[in-house]
Amino acid sequence: TKDDVIGRKRNIMYFHNENVAAFHYGPHHPMKPFRLAVTHSLILHYNLQHYFTMVEPPPATYEEIIAFHDTDYIEELMAGKWRVVPDEDAVDGTADDVPLFDGVYDYCTYYTGSTIQAAKALNCKWADIVINWSGGLHHAKKAQASGFCYVNDIVIGILELLKHNQRVLYIDIDIHHGDGVQDAFYFTSRVMTASFHHYHEKFFPGTGIVKEKGRSDGKHYSLNFPLREGITDESYAYVFKPIVRSLVKFYDPNVIVLQCGADSLGSDKLGKFNLSFNGHGECIRFVKSLNRPLMILGGGGYRLRNVARCWTNETAIIVGQDDVISDIIPEIDPYRKCFAPEHYKLRPELPHRFRDANTREFLDYLIGVAEERMRKIEH
Ligand code: TV1
Ligand code: CA
Ligand code: ZN
């Protein structure tokens, strides 16, 4: 394979606890854990499991979860009741985003357990690349659920990585700003966070402007790329590649964590970008090519069939089989009917619903700011 030509073959581990897919946020809620069952099934029916070690990790323990979260907050989550905060919240509809559905705490232990075991596998050098598509819930705060996220598995996973690694680079290509991860490490230089997202004052969570750059020891170690709607593969690669290349060169991370939210794809139910499967997957391919220990996580993604396609294609990219596997969804996949509208293709073209509002000048400005910041990095 190409891996053998370019370098040493990389050892890959895949973490999945199937219990995670059985939870329901509620009938009209856009977040559907079932997408994880469809994704996992598609990965298996493409026989990609021959190229990685599959692990069913144990759920995260209470002790592991409170490594980041506030104990009072986690107790509310376990009890299935938010504490009553007089007048606030309730009215503004934020509570609808994070409903206390049946088993919500257990759900969190499953996706977080996979991220923790993935981090441990990198720490012990059992694997060079680890994958957990159920993880990547980047909005959860120390003492608050936010944007479909209750427990921040990414922060907990990075804390685990910091036990054995001096510097962790976090890259986030979900269309939403990775605010929970940024906030958790805003004051430290041991984690550099870089989020690429759509920014608009009315687009959730409304943070992630260029000026948010970290504070005290963490000054210059938070980077934000607030993109406008409709970004295409070409424009995205134009900013992503040079920035990530320089980040790795100047920050020289010991490990990279990549949140691969699939809501940056075109035609996502909540998203406003125009990325194709190829454009999204190109980011994963590029980060892999930098040859650092790597943790791949999921995140958002609200068009169920496209989430499964996206992460299956990206699993294939990671294992070096993307140019080998068929573009027709395997017939024996029990969820095959999900893919019917686009003739059972793995990587159909997605309609462009938004004009690309990212001018060349704007993208050059973002690259310029990032390069100036990186020159200030020292260690
Ligand atoms: C219940 C039922 C909840 C239908 C939420 C879309 C719903 C949304 C729903 C929704 C929806 C958001 C806000 C609300 C600010 C809040 C996993 C006062 C059709 C990582 C989280 C987006 C994205 C939250 C998570 C956002 C992730 N958008 N229908 N809620 N308002 N919340 O805008 O980054 O992908 O939309
Ligand atoms: Ca993002
Ligand atoms: Zn998102």
**Residues 48-70 pLDDT 10s:** 999 999 999 999 999 999 999 99
User: In angstroms, what is the span from residue 264 Cα to ligand 3's centroid?
Assistant: 8
Average model confidence (pLDDT) across the chain: 95
Q: Residue 343: pLDDT band by 50, 70, 90 thresholds? A: confident
For the purposes of burial, counting CB atoms within 10 Å of the CB of 219, is it exposed (0-12), middle (13-18) or buried (19 or more)? middle
Written as one letter, the residue type at 110 is Y
* Mean pLDDT value across residues 200-211: 97
User: In angstroms, what is the span from residue 213 Cα to ligand 2's centroid?
Assistant: 15
Which residue has a Cα nearest atom 6 of ligand 1? 270
Q: Residue 91: pLDDT band by 50, 70, 90 thresholds? A: very low
Compute the distance between CA of residue 364 and CA of residue 265 in angstroms, rounded to an integer: 22
Compute the distance between CA of residue 196 and CA of residue 209 in angstroms, rounded to an integer: 10
Compute the distance between CA of residue 302 and CA of residue 261 in angstroms, rounded to an integer: 10
- Per-residue pLDDT tens over the stretch 229-253: 999 999 999 999 999 999 999 999 9
Token duo for residue 187: 């004051």
In sequence order, the 6+-apart residues with CB closer than 8 A to the CB of 78 are 62, 105
Instruction: Assess contact for 272 and 263: CB atoms under 8 A.
Output: no
Compute the distance between CA of residue 298 and CA of residue 278 in angstroms, rounded to an integer: 17
Q: Which atom of ligand 1 is nearest to the CA of 203?
A: 33
Which residue has a Cα nearest atom 34 of ligand 1? 176
Written as one letter, the residue type at 281 is G
Q: Residue 379: pLDDT band by 50, 70, 90 thresholds? A: low
From the list 40, 139, 176, 177, the catalytic residue is: 139
- Per-residue pLDDT tens over the stretch 296-306: 999 999 999 99
Largest distance between two CA atoms of the chain: 62
Question: Does the annotation count 139 as an active-site position?
Answer: yes
When mean pLDDT is compared over 1-5, 84-88, 269-273, the highest value belongs to 269-273
Token duo for residue 33: 């854990």
Q: Is 25 in the pocket of ligand 1 (CB under 6 A)?
A: no
Please, what are the domains in the chain?
Answer: 2-376 (3.40.800.20)
